[in-house]
């Protein structure tokens, strides 16, 4: 397992629950990926859309939500724009839950290990080599899961990968403390004021994005700032430069908040500047490319492994993004074939590096379906090892039964 973001953690914990020995390798010095390090700050795509949303993804998601709720570290808010529930969470509490669960389930985790070589023998990945501050590390396993977000395992293996044909913007996030959130409630009115200020005064504050959001966490004096747009190149020096530019954007956004909403944000301070949040960079060429029409029509697949109702959300311009929400009852699915790199027998991809066209990927790359994809990869791996078959030959009926909580509502 390479990558400990929400998809990788879901895969690791579910595989451990199935009794499998799991090695989880993470390039960052901490567990949690963007969910903790960016920090994304909101869990999107976990619920259906409409006036009365219900949860679509369970298994690991249930455990995660229960842990956050015990610590009063999650806030459910209904998004009129998305027509669904978005969960605002405390990234510190989430990170500690991930660490405790990895330790409790005896997942062999290694942080600060950067992938540098993949050895492939025909259609099979033989081993992975990593560089750590303590020396080289080699991992050999019968199955591998690429949860890197950038399809790093597939790319290092020399497998074909896709990159966007247009600039895709990420966001530099920040978490604020000392916010007097009660002074800008209700949220809907505050969000409208934020948009108005950005449209009218964004240039004055040096902000290119015109539709940013500030997610409040009522009662905790916290807010998550998502008011920036930063390109996320795959070249390391350029990526670092963009990261620094992103933090400058955050500082300008905080100045806007303090000056335009002094009662609520006048004494706010930054708890953390996250890592530069990435939306889309590089992804696999799979056995099937999920299309935007599959998403729009809610196409059902015999090999479905995840579902969501999150809108199409393509951040392809500096000032804003393309947004296409869905009506009540709409659900769309992710097929297993989109997780299987073409020409491989023991590798799966999960999260934002599965095969989908850019518009489709913009809807299924959010945390809800990523949790589902991670759990699905664990069960596919378990079936592959149990029956000595490659992922594209697993028993789909057996897989669907295992994943039933994530594919069907209880009454269906």
149 and 12 in a common domain: yes
Q: How many domains does the chain have?
A: 2
Same domain, 273 and 285: no
Judgement on whether residues 13 and 123 belong to the same structural domain of the protein: yes
DSSP string, 295-328: HHHT---TTEEEEE-PPEEEEEETTEEEEE---T
Residues 20 and 154 in one domain: yes
Q: How far apart are CA 241 and CA 8, in angstroms?
A: 27
Question: Residue 90 phi/psi, 5° resolution?
Answer: -90, 115
Is 286 found in the same domain as 269?
no
Examine residue 81 and state whether it is found in any structural domain, yes or no.
Answer: yes
Residue at a domain's end among 247, 262, 277? 277
At 228 the pLDDT is 97
**Domain boundaries, position 268:** 169-277
Task: Confirm whether pTM is higher than 0.95.
Answer: yes
- Cα dihedral across residues 377, 87, 328, 171: positive or negative: negative
**What is the arithmetic mean of pLDDT over 376-386?**
98
Mean pLDDT computed over 154-168: 96
Of 261, 277, 293, the one marking the end of a domain is 277
For the stretch 101-127, pLDDT in tens is 999 999 999 999 999 999 999 999 999
Radius of gyration in angstroms for the set of CA atoms belonging to the chain, rounded to a whole number: 20
Over residues 344-357, the mean pLDDT reads 98
Average pLDDT on 56-75 reads 97
Give the distance from CA 4 to its chain's centroid.
11
Q: What is the structure's pLDDT at 411?
A: 67
19/75 same-domain check: yes
E strands in 180-236: 213-217, 222-226, 230-231
User: What six digits make up the tokens of 24?
Assistant: 């989880």
pLDDT at position 188: 85
Question: Taking 60 as the threshold, does the pLDDT of residue 247 lie above it?
Answer: yes
Q: What is the pLDDT of residue 412?
A: 55
Residues 93 and 159 in one domain: yes
Pairing of the two strands 169-177 and 230-231: antiparallel
Res 73: pLDDT: 97
What pLDDT score was predicted for residue 408? 95
Contact, 409 vs 50, CB < 8 A? no
Which pLDDT value is given to residue 207? 95
CATH of the domain at 385: 3.50.50.60
356 pLDDT tier (thresholds 50, 70, 90): very high
Task: For residue 119, give the 3-state DSSP assignment.
Answer: strand
Q: Are residues 188 and 124 in the same domain?
A: no
Of 258, 277, 296, the position where a domain reaches its end is 277
The answer to whether the bond into 54 is cis (omega within 30° of 0) is no
Q: In a 3-state reduction of DSSP, which class is residue 225?
A: strand
- CATH number, position 178: 3.30.70
Q: How large a percentage of the chain has pLDDT more than 70? A: 100
Q: Which residues of 321-360 are buried (b: 16+ CB within 10 A; e: fewer)?
A: beeebbeeebebbbbbbbbbbbebbbbbbbbbbbbbbbbb
142 inside domain: yes
Give dist(CA 290, CA 312) in Å, integer: 13
45 in a structural domain: yes
Average pLDDT of the chain to the nearest whole number: 96
pLDDT digits (tens, 9 = 90+) for 12-60: 999 999 999 999 999 999 999 999 999 999 999 999 999 999 999 999 9
For residues 140 and 16, state if they share a domain: yes
In this predicted model, what pLDDT tens digit does every residue of 271-328 receive, in sequence order? Answer: 999 999 999 999 999 999 999 999 999 999 999 999 999 999 999 999 999 999 999 9
Q: Are residues 255 and 401 in the same domain?
A: no
Q: Are residues 113 and 152 in the same domain?
A: yes
């Amino acid at each position: 397992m390479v990558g400990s973001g929400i998809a990788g953690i879901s895969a690791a914990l579910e595989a451990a629950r199935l009794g499998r020995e799991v090695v989880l390798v993470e390039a960052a010095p901490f567990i949690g990926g963007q969910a903790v390090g960016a920090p994304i700050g909101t869990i999107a795509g976990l619920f259906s859309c409409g006036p009365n949303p219900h949860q679509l993804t369970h298994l690991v998601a249930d455990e995660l939500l229960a842990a956050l709720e015990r610590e009063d570290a999650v806030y459910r808010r209904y998004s009129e724009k998305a027509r669904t529930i978005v969960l605002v969470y405390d990234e510190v509490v989430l990170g500690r839950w991930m660490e405790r669960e990895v330790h409790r389930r005896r997942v062999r985790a290694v942080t600060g290990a950067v992938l540098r070589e993949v050895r492939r023998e025909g259609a099979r990945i033989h081993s992975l080599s990593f560089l750590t501050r303590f020396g080289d590390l080699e991992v050999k396993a019968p199955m591998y899961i690429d949860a890197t977000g950038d399809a790093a395992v597939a790319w290092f293996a020399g497998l074909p990968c896709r990159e966007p044909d247009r600039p895709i913007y990420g966001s530099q996030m920040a978490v604020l403390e000392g916010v007097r959130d009660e002074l800008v409630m209700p949220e809907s009115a505050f969000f409208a004021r934020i948009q108005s200020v950005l449209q009218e005064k964004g240039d004055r504050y040096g902000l290119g994005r015109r539709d940013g959001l500030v997610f409040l966490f009522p009662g905790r004096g916290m807010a998550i700032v998502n008011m920036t747009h930063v390109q996320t190149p795959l070249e390391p020096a350029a990526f670092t430069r963009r990261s620094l530019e992103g933090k400058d954007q955050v500082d300008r956004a905080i100045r806007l908040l303090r000056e335009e909403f002094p009662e609520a944000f006048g004494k706010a301070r930054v708890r953390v500047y996250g890592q530069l949040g990435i939306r889309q960079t590089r992804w696999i060429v799979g056995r099937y490319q999920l299309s935007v029409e599959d998403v729009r029509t809610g196409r059902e697949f015999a090999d479905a492994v995840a579902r969501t109702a999150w809108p199409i959300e393509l951040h392809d311009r500096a000032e804003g993004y393309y947004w296409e929400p869905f009506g009540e009852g709409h659900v769309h699915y992710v097929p297993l074939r989109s997780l299987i790199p073409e020409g491989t027998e023991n590798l799966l991809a999960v999260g934002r590096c599965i095969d989908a066209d850019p518009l489709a990927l913009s809807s299924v790359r959010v945390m809800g379906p990523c949790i589902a994809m991670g759990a699905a990869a664990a069960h596919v791996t378990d079936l592959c090892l149990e029956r000595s078959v490659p992922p594209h030959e697993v028993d789909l009926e057996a897989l669907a039964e295992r994943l039933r909580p994530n594919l069907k509502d209880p009454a269906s």
